[in-house]
Structure 1
Amino acid sequence: MPFPLHHDDPQQLGTYRLVARLGSGGMGTVYLGRSPGGRTVALKTMHARLASDPELRARFRLETDAARVIGGEYGAAVVDADPLAPTPWLATEYVLGPPLDEAVALAGPLPERSVRALGAVLAEALGQLHRSDVVHRDLKPSNILVTAFGPKVIDFGIARAVGDERLTRLGSTVGTPAFMSPEQAAGLDHTAAGDVFALAGVLVHAATGNGPFGTGRAADLLYRVRYAEPGLTGVPAALVPLLARCLDKDPARRPGTAELAHLLRDGDGPYGAGSHGGAGYGDFADRLPEVLLAEIARRACEVWEVRAHRLPAPPESRDAQVATTRSAGVSRRRLLGVTGGSLLGLAGAGAGAWAWFGRGDGAASASPSAPASASASAGSSAEGVPHVPTRAVWSARVEQVDDLLPPLVVGDQFVVLTKKGLVGLDATSRKEKWTCGKVQRAWQATTDGERVYAFVPGEKGGAPVVTVCSVNLANGEPEPLGEGIAVVDADVTAAHLLTAADGVVYLIARTGRPGATATERTAGWRLVAIDARTGRERWRQPLDDGGEYEPQSANARLVGRAVGGQLLLTRPWYEGHADRLQAWRAGQGAIAWRQVLLRGEADSSFVLPGRLAADNARVYFGSDRLSARHVSDGRRAWEFGPGRDVGGIAKGARRYGRPTVEGGVVYAAEGTRRIVAVSAASGELLWQTDLDAAMTPGLDIPPVAGERYLYVHATANGPGNTRGARSRDQLVAIDLHSHRTAWAMAVPDGLGRNLVAHERARVLVYGSGGLVCAVPFA
């Protein structure tokens, strides 16, 4: 998905004019560019600060060479490159197709004929690489783009030439654990047979939606890759023996790429005589699901609508902040190990990785003394000031935080809703950067992580409208995305901004003519999708919600989350309505499925406030049990909790808290005693930890998982003090390795309804009375 250019991005690279950002990581940035003749390309660059490192330049040249070896037949064709430029860059064709992981999330597990065609072409692609003495070493679903003419392999950032021991040493720990070969996981040489092992894992994912060794933390995955049998449940029976052979722990027993391509074709016949040479795959598109073909067509049209947009420069220089990060002495070799060695491993690094390694392990622990001095300089010392927790990095006094809108993380800011409107706070210094007084209600604003969107009611030509805007992050001014949507009333209850993702803003608006009858007003609610770049309406559909909608009522308001190519919508149970979960196809505006949630599966607090706990495969609920439903069809995936001892919970009362999912693990509070961690894929208990007997876990605030700690809300048992029950709130950090409580911190004025992490700034933020507080996030 294209994003706006930053103010300091170059105007062009070589002869290519930059139009948008496609992504950025710790090693470089990928841009969307256009040639003077109008050809659209993807431009990969190395960060200028790293370009002086000869080892990194060598790896960039190897990535360029590997991309040329595989060519446009099986990869993104190299259009131009200058690896010797002061800022090295590589221009390839812009491939019109989604990554395989997104394709599976959108269309569900692919049918056998699709998997066979996909695997045969990929086997031939690897064969072409191997014949040139190059191994990929990081083949995974996100590195495979699905087009109408066949799959294309991308991202050769950690590829290496066979026998190049220097680059082997540089990248000895790189790769993606879920799709590594056993020998790679053991730190041994990854040969062509290792790529075959990874390809088999990719095909298992294509056929089932899951990798052969599940999900979870890296150490667990590496162990399973080396010692566990692959999970092939759901793989078409005819493919099981072949994929099992490819996943053999012994590289010598795996088939070669030519044999694998032949065996995959054998069950499905030739694929026509088309784009992939003599192998014959001209009708590859005929073997893809229709929903996937529609997504490819949508992307083909969308790319021509992208227009250059550059974000304004921030009001103050970040030179001092950058200097601080650099002075911390980040090791380039250490960074290579973190980012998987890829110069453009966009999914694994980014500014958050720089902040984490720049601050060092000591800063992550955040002793109370260090934050206190930082806060003191801002006039809010953590020591001796009432209501400010001892571990606070900073605190900002605001006018009455409205915690029905969780703090929004966007760029280097937190955005909170206060009595005077939306307020942007610098995530590092807590400095107030802007105020937007035109946004006064929680249902008026949302973010996609890049921009803050809000709607403003008004009139146009005497008729009421609501206008969706992008809030300028420098001055807080709402900048309209389009002409506005005609509504019944020109007031703030005429719409509800649901969510924004993948370049689309979703809202619910009460459309119709002024002076409409009560019946017309009830029937006038529409679900509307707006293009975040052009402001044009993509689609609108009647809101099938069974009655009058009330955005101002948190108990009756829908919650939306865009995952897996779908928009999930649900609302809590209230009088006259059952809990329902429905999915809309994000690109088409059509209902994909509807399901009624069981009583006890979810209650009114699971969406108050915030969004659904979900990943691309499942959505998770907590009430009298933990449960998961498949994103693909809404059916029950698993449930956890019946029969477990949850302490002193009254019969019929809620037993589990609002869950969160991170890294393939679902975390939730259980009853009055403990925190549990269960597998997101199976619902199997991974670990549990009892809190101190003096504390009861909170059920309303979902945990937040960092790399080192799980942060949870708890309440101190025993008598409260004169400030009331909320003054007994505690923020507890549980060590994710030992599963023991690392520290607990009293929150004098009580936690709001959310804990929100800013990974780049490494702080965890919450509202507390008239304060917004930040504590270290590790």
Structure 2
Amino acid sequence: MQHLAPRDPRRVGPYRTVALLGAGGMGRVYLGIDREGRTAAVKVVRAEYAYDPDFRERFARELDLARRVHGTHTPRVLDADTSGRTPWMATEYVRGPSLHDLVRSVGPLPEDSVRFAARGVAQALERVHSHGLVHRDLKPGNVMVSAAGPQVIDFGIAAALEDAGPDGDGRLVGTPGYMAPENIRREPGGAAADVFALGGMIVYALTGTGPFGEGHPSAVMYRITNQDPVLTGIPERLHGLVSACLDKDPRERPSASRVLHALGGPAAPPTTASAWLPPPAVHTLERIDGEYRDAVAAAGPGAAGGAPASRARRRPLLVGAAGAALLLTAGAGTWALAGPFGGGTAEEDPGRRVRCDLTEHIAPELAEAARPVPSIPSSSVPPGTVFSADGRVLVVAGSQGLALWDWEEGTEIARIEDEVPGLSPTPLVSPDGCRVGYNGTGVHVYVAGTGEHTVYRGDVEVVASAFDPDGEGLYLVEGTGEPESAVLRVDLETAEVTDTYSGTDGAHTIAVSPGGGYLAAVDYTGQVRVWDTESGGTLFEAGGAEPGYGSNLELPDEDGGLLYMTGDGVVHEDFLDGGPPRTFAPAAMPENGLSEFVLSPGADRLYAPYTSGELIVDEDSEGFGMKVWEFSTGEELTGEEDEGYVSRLGMHPDGHVFTGVPLLDSDVWIVDAERLRLHSRIG
């Protein structure tokens, strides 16, 4: 649970938002309070998807299915608006983590706890199937654990029984580790596929891993279709039932009703969490409940429409616990199959995926090049970093290529070995997660799923580039050094220049707004310019910008926000509505000013490191540090102690951590954005 950032809405329909529960590629989920003080998990669609009629239709379909299947073990839909400017849906808020997160936190659960949870899930499936529906993505991450028992969530890819096979565009649906073999083979699916997933969920809850192991999805799905499940550690009383649920022949699996009967039938709701969960799990639920109460109490009765009300404590488990599993899933949970199981349509082609997961959709040769121990591609200069849009992968650029890290697990998942020129290697990741790249002689772009390498504008040096959020284009600046050199937009499919944005004297930095509506640049004369990307018209101009050493320009929203660095501090403009700018200036400006800045909406913080410009010989030198402000109020929060100076900052999409390169260390540091303490280090 996190406090609200400046860009988060303070009201959604009848709900006053008081905390952020989670965020994903399709939207954000908030803890909301209505006028009567009742709480809800409020899912809000991201702006770019709000204009997609197909997405709206799918979102409305999820709402209809969720309303139809509500029962004891499925949260109730409280309210929704699928036709407004920004679609949203409110459901009962479940005070607890997902089963996946709970097991990761406290370890495998005892048999009695798992049996009780399985009874609740089987009862939910029985109701779903009785309505002629199939869930299609049952997994530990879609089962929430509350004091009152389990709750099955996420009907974003549910379907009627007669339509329960692959999606209409040929893609498989579901999560690989819990996908039934008939679905993998593209045979007609049905209720039996949900029972197969229930068997896998039971194994995970009892052992901490799925019945077919872990690894690349293709490998897991091969085991599902060709190998027996691993049931080591399953108690004898459950062994036969689990084995039947995981039978490869769907005709041999029991129905959800039979599973429920075998487990003892519907169970009465427990009076307390300790009535069915072990003490460590009870403690986890109590922590979440306390955090929930803190957020509601901090909001107060008069907080509607005001500044961020909740300062809820952040814990890694809880960020994705009670709400993040409710994240919008139109497209998530759909695994576009390509490889050993056949397929060859454009939709299945890994080079044409609509959205990619860099932890899974990696070409074999790139995955094989990954190092057993994560390391920065050899570099004599500080490496550059960038997070993928979903925040799961950190891409690191050094002078000898790119490395892709699962930063939370501390593992390297892929490597691209190439010469990356320049003193400041900066990696790129497309918003859809399907492409990575870097600047050099042209912009080098790799399709992660195939390894395909394309160089755009390969006849000249490119000094700055950024992917268009629509996933179809690339903005770049050619390093010609000529006045009036323009920013170009290149189509990724045709490699042709589609748009030209003129008026800069050799831009060295560019930024694109999250929705792609605006483009900004800083040039070598210190001029800042903002364009409307559709019309190409100039919306804003200002002088006095400083290049700095790292990030010096941001378009944080679609509402006219612009941040750039000057000799006086970091300036925040509203280029749409005008008005006087805000300047984030330290109480005592360092001799050489600030070297860069980065904004964390999640932590409501603006960070700006600085150096004196003198030769720094050790970490005790006073010639460097970091200035910090609360972004919403402008109050300086610079502390006397933090984890240490870092440069080349990169912010996580959710804003709760950022990366940086320390002075006297060869690793990349990942820093807690609120506490300014080292979270982890890699490399």
After TM superposition, the score normalised by the length of structure 1 is 0.47
What residue number does 2:91 align with? 92
**Structure 1 Cα separation of the partners of residues 241 and 111 of structure 2:** 13
What residue number does 1:258 align with? 257
The 3-state SS of whatever aligns with 2:20 is strand
Which structure features the higher share of helix residues?
Answer: 1
One-letter identity of the residue aligned with 1:178? G
Q: How does 1:541-620 map to 2 (within 5 A)?
A: 611=680
What residue number does 1:228 align with? 227
Q: Tell me by how many angstroms 1:259 deviates.
A: 1.8
What residue number does 2:418 align with? none
The 3-state SS of whatever aligns with 1:230 is coil
- Given the superposition, is the C-alpha separation of residues 189 and 126 from structure 1 closer, same or farther in structure 2, using an over 3 Å criterion? same
Could you report, residue by residue, the CA deviation over 1:377-415 in whole angstroms, capped at 9, with x for unpaired residues? 999967999xxxxxxx9x9999xxxxxxxxxxx9999xx
**Structure 2 Cα separation of the partners of residues 39 and 264 of structure 1:** 35
Between stretches 376-385 and 146-155, larger displacement belongs to 376-385
The answer to whether the Cα contact below 8 Å between 1:468 and 1:480 also exists between their aligned partners in 2 is no
Q: Tell me by how many angstroms 1:52 deviates.
A: 5.3
What residue number does 1:565 align with? none
The answer to whether the Cα contact below 8 Å between 2:26 and 2:330 also exists between their aligned partners in 1 is no
- Given the superposition, is the C-alpha separation of residues 362 and 290 from structure 1 closer, same or farther in structure 2, using an over 3 Å criterion? same
One-letter identity of the residue aligned with 2:286? A
**Structure 2 Cα separation of the partners of residues 259 and 121 of structure 1:** 13
* 1:134 and 2:291 correspond: no
What residue number does 1:196 align with? 195
The 3-state SS of whatever aligns with 1:298 is helix
Q: Tell me by how many angstroms 1:240 deviates.
A: 2.1
Q: How does 1:177-192 map to 2 (within 5 A)?
A: 177-192=176-191
What residue number does 2:405 align with? none
**Structure 1 Cα separation of the partners of residues 74 and 241 of structure 2:** 25
The answer to whether the Cα contact below 8 Å between 1:371 and 1:382 also exists between their aligned partners in 2 is no
* 1:299 and 2:299 correspond: no
One-letter identity of the residue aligned with 2:291? E
**Structure 1 Cα separation of the partners of residues 168 and 138 of structure 2:** 19
What residue number does 1:215 align with? 214
* 1:2 and 2:2 correspond: yes
The answer to whether the Cα contact below 8 Å between 1:170 and 1:333 also exists between their aligned partners in 2 is no
Could you report, residue by residue, the CA deviation over 1:172-205 in whole angstroms, capped at 9, with x for unpaired residues? 4221111111111222222111001001111111
Could you report, residue by residue, the CA deviation over 1:420-450 in whole angstroms, capped at 9, with x for unpaired residues? 998656699xx9944687899xxxx999994
The answer to whether the Cα contact below 8 Å between 2:95 and 2:146 also exists between their aligned partners in 1 is yes
**Structure 2 Cα separation of the partners of residues 156 and 334 of structure 1:** 12
The 3-state SS of whatever aligns with 2:145 is strand
* 1:66 and 2:223 correspond: no
The answer to whether the Cα contact below 8 Å between 2:171 and 2:336 also exists between their aligned partners in 1 is no
**Structure 2 Cα separation of the partners of residues 93 and 243 of structure 1:** 31
Could you report, residue by residue, the CA deviation over 1:511-570 in whole angstroms, capped at 9, with x for unpaired residues? xxxxxxxxxxxxxxxxxxxxxxxxxxxxxxxxxxxxxxxx99979x9x9999xxxxx99x
The answer to whether the Cα contact below 8 Å between 1:148 and 1:296 also exists between their aligned partners in 2 is yes
What residue number does 1:145 align with? 144
One-letter identity of the residue aligned with 1:29? R
- Given the superposition, is the C-alpha separation of residues 25 and 6 from structure 1 closer, same or farther in structure 2, using an over 3 Å criterion? farther
The answer to whether the Cα contact below 8 Å between 1:469 and 1:480 also exists between their aligned partners in 2 is yes
What residue number does 2:155 align with? 156
- Given the superposition, is the C-alpha separation of residues 611 and 492 from structure 1 closer, same or farther in structure 2, using an over 3 Å criterion? closer
One-letter identity of the residue aligned with 1:23? G
What residue number does 2:276 align with? 287
**Structure 2 Cα separation of the partners of residues 493 and 5 of structure 1:** 23
The answer to whether the Cα contact below 8 Å between 1:134 and 1:162 also exists between their aligned partners in 2 is yes
What residue number does 2:32 align with? 33
Could you report, residue by residue, the CA deviation over 1:496-522 in whole angstroms, capped at 9, with x for unpaired residues? 9xxx9999999xxxxxxxxxxxxxxxx
The answer to whether the Cα contact below 8 Å between 1:74 and 1:152 also exists between their aligned partners in 2 is yes
- Given the superposition, is the C-alpha separation of residues 560 and 83 from structure 1 closer, same or farther in structure 2, using an over 3 Å criterion? closer
Could you report, residue by residue, the CA deviation over 1:264-318 in whole angstroms, capped at 9, with x for unpaired residues? 239xxx96xx43xxxxx5566422121221221222221243357879xxxxxxx
User: What stretches of structure 1 of length at least 5 have no aligned partner?
Assistant: 276-280, 312-331, 386-392, 399-409, 414-418, 457-466, 485-489, 507-550, 563-567, 570-609, 614-701, 703-778
The answer to whether the Cα contact below 8 Å between 2:183 and 2:189 also exists between their aligned partners in 1 is yes
What residue number does 2:455 align with? 367
Q: How does 1:497-512 map to 2 (within 5 A)?
A: none
The answer to whether the Cα contact below 8 Å between 1:109 and 1:208 also exists between their aligned partners in 2 is yes
- Given the superposition, is the C-alpha separation of residues 335 and 288 from structure 1 closer, same or farther in structure 2, using an over 3 Å criterion? closer
- Given the superposition, is the C-alpha separation of residues 40 and 494 from structure 1 closer, same or farther in structure 2, using an over 3 Å criterion? same
Q: Tell me by how many angstroms 1:254 deviates.
A: 0.9
**Structure 2 Cα separation of the partners of residues 166 and 253 of structure 1:** 19
After TM superposition, the score normalised by the length of structure 2 is 0.53
What residue number does 2:637 align with? 480
Number of residue pairs the alignment of both structures matches: 449
Could you report, residue by residue, the CA deviation over 1:450-501 in whole angstroms, capped at 9, with x for unpaired residues? 4468799xxxxxxxxxx998645799x77439xx8xxxxx6779999xxx99
**Structure 2 Cα separation of the partners of residues 49 and 143 of structure 1:** 25
One-letter identity of the residue aligned with 1:61? A
**Structure 2 Cα separation of the partners of residues 333 and 79 of structure 1:** 20
**Structure 1 Cα separation of the partners of residues 49 and 10 of structure 2:** 20
The 3-state SS of whatever aligns with 1:32 is strand
One-letter identity of the residue aligned with 1:180? M
The 3-state SS of whatever aligns with 1:480 is coil
**Structure 1 Cα separation of the partners of residues 460 and 563 of structure 2:** 19
The 3-state SS of whatever aligns with 1:41 is strand
**Structure 2 Cα separation of the partners of residues 158 and 339 of structure 1:** 14
Percent identity, aligned pairs only, is 34
One-letter identity of the residue aligned with 1:115? V
Q: Tell me by how many angstroms 1:229 deviates.
A: 1.4
One-letter identity of the residue aligned with 1:66? L
User: What stretches of structure 2 of length at least 5 have no aligned partner?
Assistant: 309-328, 338-346, 348-353, 361-387, 391-428, 438-443, 448-452, 466-474, 483-489, 491-505, 521-546, 557-561, 571-585, 610-624
One-letter identity of the residue aligned with 2:277? L
Q: How does 1:55-454 map to 2 (within 5 A)?
A: 55-71=54-70, 73-164=72-163, 168-170=167-169, 172-265=171-264, 274-275=268-269, 281-282=270-271, 285-306=274-295, 307=299, 354-356=431-433, 364=447, 365-367=453-455, 369-370=457-458, 372=460, 374-375=462-463, 433-434=564-565, 450-451=602-603
- Given the superposition, is the C-alpha separation of residues 612 and 117 from structure 1 closer, same or farther in structure 2, using an over 3 Å criterion? farther
**Structure 2 Cα separation of the partners of residues 491 and 298 of structure 1:** 28
Q: Tell me by how many angstroms 1:10 deviates.
A: 4.4
Could you report, residue by residue, the CA deviation over 1:52-104 in whole angstroms, capped at 9, with x for unpaired residues? 55543332233112222332521221111233434332111111000111101
One-letter identity of the residue aligned with 1:301? G
The answer to whether the Cα contact below 8 Å between 2:175 and 2:333 also exists between their aligned partners in 1 is no
**Structure 2 Cα separation of the partners of residues 60 and 204 of structure 1:** 31
One-letter identity of the residue aligned with 1:480? L
The 3-state SS of whatever aligns with 2:69 is helix
What residue number does 1:686 align with? none
One-letter identity of the residue aligned with 2:97? P
One-letter identity of the residue aligned with 2:680? R
The 3-state SS of whatever aligns with 1:213 is coil
The answer to whether the Cα contact below 8 Å between 2:5 and 2:601 also exists between their aligned partners in 1 is no
One-letter identity of the residue aligned with 1:295? T
The 3-state SS of whatever aligns with 2:97 is coil
**Structure 1 Cα separation of the partners of residues 154 and 553 of structure 2:** 36
Q: Tell me by how many angstroms 1:373 deviates.
A: 5.3
One-letter identity of the residue aligned with 1:367? V
**Structure 2 Cα separation of the partners of residues 293 and 447 of structure 1:** 36
**Structure 1 Cα separation of the partners of residues 59 and 190 of structure 2:** 21
**Structure 1 Cα separation of the partners of residues 212 and 50 of structure 2:** 37
